[in-house]
Amino acid sequence: EPGAIVKVAPDVKINIEDGAVLNAQGSADSPIVFTSLTDDSTGGDTNLDGSGSAPEPGDWLGLEAFGSGQLNTNEFVEISYAQIAHGGTVSQDEDWTGTCIHHVVEEVMVPDGVTLTVEPGAAVKFDDALGITVQSGGQLVAKGEVAQTISFTSVRDDFYGGDTENDALTREPLAGDWGGIKFESTLNEMSTLLDNVLIRYGG
């Protein structure tokens, strides 16, 4: 319901199974927040440890729909400190928040008329050979800040966003791990902003 705060324990995921529906429709006056159990800034000190813990991007494993499962949200839903899986065509303007780890598990396409915005502080991590393709007329805006850079890197890169694969540092990142960011526009058509961005281990 609007106004709900959902706080999730570390390394836990919310699964929407085949045939199930999760409706989260917030409002401007009553947004819905999904966040880490350690996030005292929303809903107070839920784990009752005072200042003993602080939230980090990737604390919990996000929401995922399987099969015909549906996750219905709107612009008044905030997801913080999660690891979020991305892939496929971005169907409408979308923001990738700076408080989350963004794990690309399938090639991402930004089509004509759609803007993908990556916010300051975000870590975007790619599985092998995957990347982002910005088609003609699409926009990729990744405007970091000096104190909050944006990183595009390999899923094996534990320096940014921690051990996303949970493999205890057994795989080191290498140049060419992921496929890179591709722009299909001509220079005059391109409407893209990359600023204070780190690109590591791409192809």
Q: Model confidence over 175-197: pLDDT tens digits?
A: 999 999 999 876 555 567 899 99
Calculate mean pLDDT across residues 64-85.
93
Whole-structure pTM value:
0.87
Integer Cα distance of 172 and 158 in angstroms = 8
**Residues in contact with 142: Cβ distance below 8 Å, sequence separation at least 6, in sequence order:** 117, 118, 122, 150, 152, 193, 194, 195, 197
Integer Cα distance of 86 and 108 in angstroms = 7
Confidence of residue 163 (pLDDT cuts 50, 70, 90): confident
Calculate the CA dihedral of residues 99, 38, 1, 102 and round it to 10 degrees: 30
Q: Which of left, alpha, beta for 109 (phi over 0: left; psi -120 to 50: alpha)?
A: beta
Integer Cα distance of 152 and 155 in angstroms = 10
Confidence of residue 166 (pLDDT cuts 50, 70, 90): confident
